[in-house]
Amino acid sequence: MGQNKALCEAFRQIRDGQVWQQLAPAQQTFIEHSLRDFTLSGVALPPEAQQRFKALKSELSALTSRFGNHVLDSTQAWYELVEEPALAGLPETSKAMLREAVEREGQSGHRITLAFPSYLAIITHADDRALREEVHAAFVTRASDQGPHAGRWDNGP
């Protein structure tokens, strides 16, 4: 739609026409932003450049999706099973959340994951410095060539 010359021209005609002054400021802003978006979408490019632009946008979309999937896969793959003493400092609600996570998986203890509620509970409240360091290291190296799943879902390339 961003490269639709006829639609872009219709917006230009409104902006350049007599009706422009009768439009509300919000309507004028909408039209101005739409014209800007047409320009940024390559509507004024020559046909061969438009095709290249479309190909690049498609490639970017695929890479963005793959990047996000790698982060999600690496986030879901990591977990740590711990017993109650390692969770000193956590509020009872956080401990209950970690118990529920382990029960869903049919395991025992408490399941720490890189899902944000679990991660935040450990980083914010856990007294165990080594546990906080391990969880933080796993979190910041997701989808990379480092950490517990080094290279498996590497977004570096």
Report pLDDT digits (tens) over 45-100: 999 999 999 999 999 999 999 999 999 999 999 999 999 999 999 999 999 999 99
In sequence order, what E strands does the chain have? 79-82, 110-113
Of 121, 97, 120, give the one whose Cα is nearest residue 110.
97
Provide the pLDDT for residue 48: 94
| pTM of the full structure | 0.76
- pLDDT above 90 as % of the chain: 92
pLDDT-based confidence at residue 2 (cuts at 50, 70, 90) = confident
Q: Which of 27, 25, 4, 2 is nearest to 14 (CA)?
A: 27
